[in-house]
Amino acid sequence: MALKPRYLQELSDLFVHDLKRSHYYRKLPESQRHDLDDRIADEASQGLYPLLPCGDEEALRRLSEAVRKELNIPLPPSVVDILRQVDGFVANSVSLYGVDAELRDDRFDSGPGLLAENLVKWSSFAETIQKYLFLGDSDLWFFALELDSGRAVALQRSTLKPAHYFTTVEEMVDDMMQQALGEFGDEMDDLEDETDNESSGFNFSRS
């Protein structure tokens, strides 16, 4: 199941905008700035999302092996599929964990790594060991996959209690992107259903 292209595009646009306003970009030699601009334009012309790359298959294979070895669980296919579409992001205090830097050929550190984050959280919160696979976080929430049921869930950061179950992992990541973009519109009002704290299409970022 695909993530919503609009959110991916808007995140990419946000990152490109921030880059071009940055001290790093302004201090680049003119030739390097042109090369970077050309690369961004080329990726956009190919239908990609500049500065928001998808996961490399070899890196995803290494991550799957490392998760099985270090966490003693298989990396769920739904998580691999998410990382194929977007290899993590950090924006406005919302993080989606990506492939760990040491598992990449280029060793590029693009943000929190999924394996490292779960090793830390399982060490810190023993009750979550082999119960949740943490996929991301924000100031208030941990976003995770409940391993027994396969359900995507938002956990209260302070208590680790489930606050909301999503119908799919993709729905959860779409909601994370909405939070990162600061989009809290009214488009989902008529879809909300608080029954059993779960609903199809629930815009959790507004709760």
Give the tens place of pLDDT for each residue, 31-87: 999 999 999 999 999 999 999 999 999 999 999 999 999 999 999 999 999 999 999
Domains of the chain, by residue range, sit at 53-184
The predicted structure's pLDDT at residue 173: 98
The arithmetic mean of pLDDT across residues 91-115, rounded, is 92
Which pTM does this prediction carry?
Answer: 0.87
For 129-160, what is each residue's pLDDT tens digit? 999 999 999 999 999 999 999 999 999 999 99
**CA neighbor of 93 nearest in space, from 65, 75, 112:** 112
Instruction: Please give the pLDDT value at position 206.
Output: 52
Residue 118 CA to residue 70 CA, distance in Å, equals 10
Q: What's the pLDDT at 192? A: 42
Contacts of 174 (CB under 8 A, 6+ apart): 3, 4, 7
Beta sheet of 132-137, edge-to-edge order: 89-91, 94-96, 132-137, 141-146, 152-156, 162-166
pLDDT digits (tens, 9 = 90+) for 124-137: 999 999 999 999 99
> Within 13 Å of residue 79, how many CA atoms lie on the same side as its CB?
28
CATH number for the domain whose boundaries are 53-184: 3.40.1580.10
Question: What's the rounded Cα separation, in Å, for the pair 75 and 77?
Answer: 6
Q: Long-range pairs for 90-95 at CB < 8 Å and ≥24 separation? A: 91/11, 91/14, 91/15, 91/180, 91/181, 92/179, 92/180, 92/181, 92/182, 93/138, 93/139, 94/136, 94/137, 94/138, 94/176, 94/177, 94/179, 94/180, 95/136, 95/137, 95/138
As given in the structure block, the two tokens for residue 140 are 């208030």
pLDDT at 167 over 50: yes
Mean pLDDT over all residues of the chain?
A: 90
